[in-house]
């Protein structure tokens, strides 16, 4: 088949290993000491895009929305091997409707064959944008893309793409992780795919990759230029810490454990 | 009067997915707070059996549509039909359980209705037109109170936070409708089910989970689960390794469980795993590493080798009987 064009997203999020604390007034989270990185599901999306292009030839374009700092995530995707980047410069609040609206305009401009997004970002945990985008575009959707092999398989070591584009280039076959098993869909292209964790193991960036990324182009856009009203329709009124669990105890042996479960917790 | 529409989900085996009962109970809570009435909808190849069950669950009406195209769920087939019914009913709220289907379908329905959406809703606050939603963020490390400002509001329900709706209520009116179906750009190819004789993970009273510490040997985990009539769960690491099927994964990116008893064996307790089981009533941790974060949420911790301790635990439980 001919070359494929893949658009991938790279959201900047708090490092999943960071300790997230709510500000005392509930207006947000404490920013000090936080590290940031690319959303892990997006990293998987970038990797899958690169594998598809390695197999079929073509181009991976990465997009991120946010202030100047998101260029760090765009550079990471470029260092992994993406050809160029689109930066939607926006610093105000943004919800999933706004994000999907902006991505729709970028897609209409770029005309990719497949848009690959993470299934959810690990900050908002909404799991919505890919589905909104597919509906806005009137495209086929396959969420929670996974694969049959494990992440320790030969296919994975050889970086074989899990998404299978048909020989005629008209459709893509996607294995989805659903309740009680795996479902397979055949999506007409162009299509929107969202990644689950078991789609692939993303590559690390190499030093030559990082050097090369510095000269790759980043196009700057804004919501105004794209003509999208991003006024949030989802307002977070207040944040709080989940109620803490009562401190537990350590027991000495199995007999003590069974005694506690039977006589104290009364669960066995 | 506000109208709340809850989407019912049929499993591939034809039965109602249990999480639908929790979503209906959430819908009833919302109907009380908002001062509205509850409607249910089911799209199915054969709705008859599930409709009977849905009738007695306290809704005003159960809307059903039957078509061969509904045999295998596809977002592009279901979303226009659900959105169309929501418009016809002038629904103010549309919701479904946060199952794989709910998470796939609800945002697409919301997009069609130009609605904002809240995922994994754990509770409702306020009353009348000012109802807000509580939902988790950052892997459950933050609870957020969220207001949706669009005329129609869409949500998915974290099933473990609501009791299952009980039957025996006044019979709802059953209304059948025949939607015009749009051609789908997506085709269903196949479904490979992971069959198990054990209870379903998200519904089990007891869950026994294994992590890296099992080194891929789940025999003792399974034996203990069978002794307790429990479901088997797993950490992300063991699913990634392909040691157990993906659908056993408990965590932010897997399933959220809240059983009476959760036994974590050989699981360190990464943030992402805790997000999926922290609401369990009693948590037991068995781990060789006394510094493992899992001990911070465990009610009872045992610092020991799981291969030595699990058989002992199984025998001790047998003696209890």
Chain mean position to CA A188: 22
Question: Which residues of chain B are under the pLDDT cut of 70?
Answer: none
Strand partners, B39: B5, B61
CB B133 within 8 A of CB B118: yes
- DSSP state letter for A229: -
Q: By C-alpha distance, which of B76, B85, B157, B84 is closest to B118?
A: B157
At A17, is the pLDDT very low, low, confident or very high (cuts 50, 70, 90)? confident
Judge: A265–B299 Cβ closer than 8 Å, yes or no: yes
SS3 category, A172: strand
Number of CB atoms found within 10 A of residue A247's CB = 9
Distance from CA of B163 to the nearest CA of A (A): 19
Q: Do B119 and A125 touch (CB under 8 A)?
A: yes
Are B111 and A96 inside 8 Å of each other by CB?
no
Give per-residue pLDDT as tens, B104-160.
999 999 999 999 999 999 999 999 889 999 999 999 999 999 999 999 999 999 999
Q: Answer for the pair A31, A18: CB distance below 8 angstroms, yes or no.
A: no
- Helix (H), strand (E) at residue B253: none
Q: What's the pLDDT at A11?
A: 98
Nearest-CA distance A214 → chain B (Å): 31
Q: A47 is written with which tokens? A: 């990797």
Chain B residues touching A100 at Cβ < 8 A: 111
pLDDT grade for A125, boundaries at 50, 70 and 90: very high
Strands (E), chain A: 4-9, 12-14, 36-38, 58-66, 84-89, 114-118, 140-146, 164-165, 171-178, 181-188, 191-195, 218-221, 234-240, 249-250
The pLDDT value recorded for residue B179 is 97
CA of B240: which chain A residue's CA is closest?
A: A151
Binary contact (B313, A233; C-beta < 8 A): no
How many C-beta neighbours within 10 Å does residue B240 have? 17
Token representation of residue B293: 């974060």
Task: Let me know: does B235 contact B267? Beta carbons within 8 Å.
Answer: yes
For chain B, the C-alpha Rg in angstroms (whole number) is: 21
DSSP A80-117: HT-SEEEEEE--S---HHHHHHHHHHHHHHH--SEEEE
Provide the CA A111 distance to its chain's centre, in angstroms.
20
Q: How far is B104 from chain A (nearest CA, A)?
A: 7
CA-based nearest residue to B67, from B41, B44, B98:
B44
Which structure tokens are listed for B188?
């269903």
Are B55 and B172 in contact by the 8 Å Cβ rule? The answer is: yes
Say if the Cβ atoms of B116 and A257 lie within 8 Å: no
Contact assessment for residue B238 and residue B244, using Cβ atoms and an 8 Å cutoff: yes
Q: Which residue in A100, A114, A131 has the most chain B C-beta atoms within 10 A of its own C-beta, making it the best mutation to test that interface? A: A131
Phi, psi of A144, rounded to the nearest 5 degrees:
55, 45
- Asked if A17 has any chain B CB less than 8 Å from its own CB, the reply is yes
Structure confidence by residue, pLDDT tens digits, A204-223:
999 999 999 999 999 999 99
Comparing CB atoms, the residue among B76, B144, B297 nearest residue A140 is B76
* Degrees to nearest 5, angle at CA A93 with A111 and A13: 75
Max Cα–Cα distance, chain B, nearest Å = 62
Whole-number Å distance between alpha carbons of B42 and B24: 12
Q: What distance in Å separates the CA atoms of residue B263 and residue B313, rounded to the nearest whole number?
A: 11
The verdict on a CB contact (< 8 Å) between B139 and A126 is: no
pLDDT tens column, A23-82: 999 999 999 999 999 999 999 999 999 999 999 999 999 999 999 999 999 999 999 999
pLDDT per residue as tens digits for the range A140-199? 999 999 999 999 999 999 999 999 999 999 999 999 999 989 999 999 999 999 999 999
- Measured distance CA(A96)–CA(B137) in Å, rounded: 14
| Distance (Å) from the alpha carbon of A239 to chain B's nearest alpha carbon | 4
Confidence of residue A1 (pLDDT cuts 50, 70, 90): low
Asked if residue A236 lies in contact with residue B144, where contact means CB atoms within 8 angstroms, the answer is yes
What's the ipTM?
A: 0.96
| Cα distances (Å, whole numbers) of residue A82 to A2, A62, A114, B152 | 18, 7, 14, 39
Q: Mutation test of the interface with chain A: which of B17, B135, B141, choosing the one with the most A Cβ atoms within 10 A?
A: B141
pLDDT value of position B24: 98
Q: Does A150 touch chain B (CB under 8 A)?
A: yes
The Cα-based distances of B4 to B35, B42, B60, B62 in angstroms read 10, 14, 10, 12
């Amino acid at each position: 088949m001919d070359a494929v064009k893949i658009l991938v997203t790279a959201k900047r999020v708090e490092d999943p290993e960071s300790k997230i604390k709510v500000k005392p007034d509930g207006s947000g989270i404490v920013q000090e000491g936080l590290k940031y990185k690319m959303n892990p599901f997006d990293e998987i999306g970038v990797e899958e895009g690169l594998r598809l292009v390695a197999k079929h030839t073509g181009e991976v374009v990465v997009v991120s929305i946010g202030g100047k700092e998101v260029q760090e995530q765009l550079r990471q995707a470029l260092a992994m091997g993406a050809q160029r980047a689109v930066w939607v410069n926006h610093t105000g609040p943004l919800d999933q409707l706004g994000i999907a609206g902006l991505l729709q305009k970028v897609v209409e401009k770029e005309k990719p064959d497949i848009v690959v997004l993470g299934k959810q970002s690990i900050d908002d945990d909404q799991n919505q944008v890919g589905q909104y985008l597919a509906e806005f575009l009137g495209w086929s959707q396959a969420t929670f893309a996974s694969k049959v092999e494990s992440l320790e398989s030969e296919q994975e070591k050889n970086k074989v793409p899990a998404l299978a584009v048909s020989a005629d280039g008209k459709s893509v076959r996607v294995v989805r992780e659903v309740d009680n098993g795996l479902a397979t869909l055949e999506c007409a292209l162009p299509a929107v795919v969202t990644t689950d964790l078991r789609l692939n193991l993303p590559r690390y960036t190499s030093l030559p990759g990082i050097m090369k990324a510095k000269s790759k182009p980043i196009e700057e856009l804004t919501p105004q230029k794209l003509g999208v009203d991003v006024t949030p329709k989802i307002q977070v009124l207040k944040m709080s810490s989940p109620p803490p669990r009562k401190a537990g105890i350590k027991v000495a042996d199995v007999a003590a454990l069974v005694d506690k479960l039977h006589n104290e917790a009364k669960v066995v | 009067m506000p109208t709340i529409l809850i989407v019912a989900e049929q499993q591939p085996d034809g039965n109602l997915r249990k999480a639908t009962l929790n979503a209906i109970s959430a819908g009833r809570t919302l109907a009380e707070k908002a001062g509205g009435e509850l409607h249910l909808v089911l799209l199915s190849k054969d709705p008859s059996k599930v409709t009977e069950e849905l009738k007695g669950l306290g809704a005003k009406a159960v809307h059903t549509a039957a078509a061969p195209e509904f045999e295998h769920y596809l977002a592009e087939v279901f979303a226009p039909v659900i959105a169309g019914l929501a418009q016809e009913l002038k629904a103010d709220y549309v919701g479904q359980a946060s199952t794989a289907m709910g998470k796939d379908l609800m945002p697409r329905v919301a997009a069609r209705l130009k609605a904002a959406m809240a995922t994994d809703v754990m509770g409702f606050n306020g009353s009348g037109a000012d109802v807000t939603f509580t939902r988790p963020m950052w892997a459950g490390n933050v609870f957020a109170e969220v207001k949706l400002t669009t005329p129609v509001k869409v949500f998915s329900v974290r099933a473990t936070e609501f009791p299952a709706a009980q039957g025996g209520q006044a019979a709802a009116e059953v209304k059948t409708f025949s939607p015009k179906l749009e051609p789908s750009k997506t085709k269903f190819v196949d479904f490979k089910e992971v069959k198990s004789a054990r209870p379903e993970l998200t519904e089990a009273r007891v869950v026994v989970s294994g992590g890296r510490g099992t080194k891929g040997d789940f025999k003792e985990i399974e034996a203990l689960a069978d002794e307790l009539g429990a479901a088997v769960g797993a950490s992300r690491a063991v699913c990634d390794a392909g040691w157990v099927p993906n659908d056993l994964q408990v965590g932010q990116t897997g399933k959220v469980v809240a059983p009476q008893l959760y036994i974590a064996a050989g699981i360190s307790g990464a943030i992402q795993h805790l997000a999926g089981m922290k609401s369990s009533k009693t948590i037991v941790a068995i781990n060789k590493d006394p510094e493992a974060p899992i001990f911070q949420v465990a009610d009872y911790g045992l610092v020991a080798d799981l291969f030595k301790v699990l058989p002992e635990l199984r025998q001790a439980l047998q003696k209890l009987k």
